[in-house]
Amino acid sequence: MLIVPTEDSIRVSKIMNILLKNNKHALFVGPTGTGKTISIVNEIENGFPKEEWINIGLSFSAQTSSNQTQEIIDEAMEKRRMGIYGPPMGKEGIVFVDDLNMPQLEKYGAQPPVELLRQWMDYGGWYDLESSEKTFKEIQSIRFVAAMGPPGGGRNYITERYSRHFSTIYVSQYSVDSLKFIFSSILDSLFMSNKVPSFAKSIVGLKDNLVSSTIMMYENVTKSFKPTPTKSHYTYNLRDVSKVFQGIFFSNPKGTRNDTEMIKLWAHECIRVFHDRLITEDDRESFMGILKETMTEKFKRDWDKVVTVNPLLFSSFVPTIYPDDDTSKKPLKNLYCELTDRENLKKICNRSLVEFNEEPDTKKMDLVLFMDAMEHVVKCFRIIKTPKGNGLLVGVGGSGRKSLSSLATFIADFDLFMIEITKDYGIKEWKEDMVSMFTRGGVEERGIVFLFSDNHIIEEAFLEDVNNILNNGEIPNLYNAEDHLNICEGMKDSVKGNMKYANMGDPELFNLFQERCRNNIHVMLAFSPIGEDFRRRLRMFPSIVNCTTIDWFLPWPKDALSSVAEHFLQDVDLP
């Protein structure tokens, strides 16, 4: 992960370091996308040596319980003497609580997880849940750092009896100058990492305009598309701006050869990030108007002259560019470029569908891949190929969310993982499935797409775990002692012969396992927008929106429905 330090982030890191090392607690408050979490995590990893400190991470949601919170912290503690616990001897502990004010209020107005943490602040511990006597456990040598957004939109006020224990620091929105510095530095790293061959000078010269135009798009979209009860996901923050540049990072000099192609790539990434979550044709037309105006103002280009093939699509699974533009040679593979040859796109998608159906132990799919369907395949493929990318596919039943994402997973050469619901399926079976999935992603190092739909939500606790995967890439307290032992043994076999990992002990191997899981497992949520459940879940589990790329499936157009009818009726002898 590329982190660009700014005055604001350095200030946050320095203040936090001083407070924690002087045994004080720190609370950072600010809007989503201001870099609170990434600054805190980065400082914990780099400013506190692992030989002297342990880090315990918590990510609260509306469903987080006090028991879950206590179990996560207790698991990292060791017994020091009768009734007294703490981090391993010789170490201090940092407990990082993200989204501190997300837990929902109980009937008396309290937040149980917050009240548990307040109990530690006031009394130095809590009662042992596992002992029959419920004896008091004193927890020593830990301090807390927390981050939260301002109250509202599912976030609550925390009690002053708890907040009084913290040094509270407000993290404001980045200034325009800071944003330009951050994203200019990111583009510099892209251009510097591609020196042979290098990007054309005309592309490098677009750097300032790419940055300023993306910031302008973000500001205009935020002003134009406000959240409402039916559009509660119309929330934009600086994570969305970074996703645009993350998409631009797919480019390389062979696939993006001139300034026009870079401008089209920029427009495509803006569409994928800002446009695809819009739920009405009117909103989408308004967005395209904003995009075209920005292109004209910033790049002095006319949309209709730049974009000659609609809809604008970029991907890497359709070979489109030939060496020296010589079509007699084989096209270059794995280049992120514009998909101008739509017949070739259709041919490759249909061939992949045939190969998918020939795979053993797969549910056969009889799909008609019209243009809109292939567009969603391209979108899903982009999400899967994005480092640590996750997706939220929203549409009514029968819109093709699961089928098209399954096909995109196959094209990307990832394993598809889905849970199978039976009448006896519960928390125990869920945890077993999660251990199996993480083992495949971490020990076996296989790319996995976890396809999870609202039909799988038998218990809201499942969504709590999914929220943690989206936010942290892991599920707290998932592994028992036997699982932990099996994972460490599997990791030893996995890294055998690699001198880089020769001297790693079990703790280091387990950390490597968790990092592999974060990199290899991608979550694809397939939810229906019908009913109150969808809006409630977005409100209660913020990572569903904040940590995903949203693809909203609109009703299929008439020509798509006609092509489906023609496909199924072509062999029918109608009078």
Structure tokens at 478: 């998932």
CA distance 359 to 45: 43
Question: pLDDT band at residue 364, thresholds of 50, 70 and 90?
Answer: confident
Q: What is the pLDDT of residue 275?
A: 96
Across 291-316, average pLDDT: 95
Summarised one tens digit per residue, pLDDT across range 320-347 is: 888 877 777 888 888 999 999 999 999 9
Summarised one tens digit per residue, pLDDT across range 163-220 is: 999 999 999 888 888 889 999 999 999 999 888 788 999 999 999 999 999 999 999 9
State the SS3 of 293-313. Answer: HHHHHHHCCCHHHHCCCCCCC
Summarised one tens digit per residue, pLDDT across range 283-300 is: 999 999 999 999 999 999
pLDDT of 356 over the 90 cut: yes
Strand partners, 430: none
Strand partners, 81: 84
Across 408-419, average pLDDT: 95
Question: pLDDT band at residue 500, thresholds of 50, 70 and 90?
Answer: confident
What residue spans define the domains of the chain?
7-170, 176-338, 377-569
pLDDT of 567 over the 90 cut: no
Give, in words, the CATH class of 7-170.
Answer: alpha beta
Helix (H) or strand (E) holding 168: strand 166-170
Summarised one tens digit per residue, pLDDT across range 55-90 is: 999 989 888 899 999 999 998 999 999 999 999 999
Is it true that 7-170 and 176-338 share their CATH fold? no
Summarised one tens digit per residue, pLDDT across range 7-21 is: 888 888 999 999 999
Helix (H) or strand (E) holding 125: strand 125-127
One CATH from 3.40.50.300, 1.10.10.10, 2.60.40.10, 1.20.920.30 for 176-338: 1.20.920.30
Residues 59 and 108: beta-carbon distance below 8 Å: no
Which segments of 194-258 does DSSP mark as H helices, in order? 201-204, 207-224, 238-248
- The CATH code of the domain at 377-569 is 3.40.50.300
Q: Which one, of 221, 292, 222, lies nearest residue 263 by Cα?
A: 292
Q: Which one, of 302, 273, 297, lies nearest residue 287 by Cα?
A: 273
CA distance 424 to 420: 11
CA distance 538 to 25: 30
Determine the length of the chain.
Answer: 575
CA distance 157 to 114: 11
CA distance 276 to 244: 13
Q: What is the pLDDT of residue 274?
A: 96
Residues 245 and 298: beta-carbon distance below 8 Å: no
Alpha-carbon dihedral 60, 66, 68, 71, rounded to 10 degrees: 120
Question: pLDDT band at residue 2, thresholds of 50, 70 and 90?
Answer: low
pLDDT of 158 over the 60 cut: yes
Strands 415-417 and 391-394: unpaired
Structure tokens at 425: 């399926």
Residues 73 and 95: beta-carbon distance below 8 Å: yes
Buried b (16+ CB within 10 A) or exposed e, 431-446: bebbbebbbbbbbeeb
Instruction: Annotate 16-69 with DSSP letters as a single string.
Output: HHHHHHTT-EEEEE--TTSSHHHHHHHHHHHHS-TTTEEEEEEE--TT--HHHH
Q: What is the pLDDT of residue 487?
A: 94
